[in-house]
Amino acid sequence: MSLEQVNAFYEVVSTDANIYEQYYSTCCQRGMFGAWNWDTNKIVSFANSLGFNFTESELVAVLFDSDATLTSVTSTDTGRSYPDYSPQPLSHYAY
């Protein structure tokens, strides 16, 4: 199932600092007022380049319609800690 592919992809991203750095630099752009803009099309393309197979709609379903969370990654090579990327369902946010 492709939703499992999304979860497997984020498991790899969250446990491999080198892949996380590539993911971050390829799929994210800093916007106005410190907001981060994640391009779902680029995320799907990046995941495909690593052998994962899912669509943008499946990605969005995991990121916003489930309790998918990622933890911070600490590189064993540098000891650097990378920022948390913890997507939450939209219902998680208070308006």
Q: Give the mean model confidence (pLDDT) for residues 11-23.
A: 94
Q: What is the pLDDT of residues 68-88, one digit of tens each?
A: 444 444 444 445 544 444 444
* pTM (predicted TM-score): 0.65
Q: Give the mean model confidence (pLDDT) for residues 21-42.
A: 87
What is the Cα–Cα distance from 12 to 10, expressed in whole angstroms? 5
The pLDDT of residue 65 is: 72
What is the Cα–Cα distance from 7 to 26, expressed in whole angstroms? 19
Domain locations along the chain: 2-92
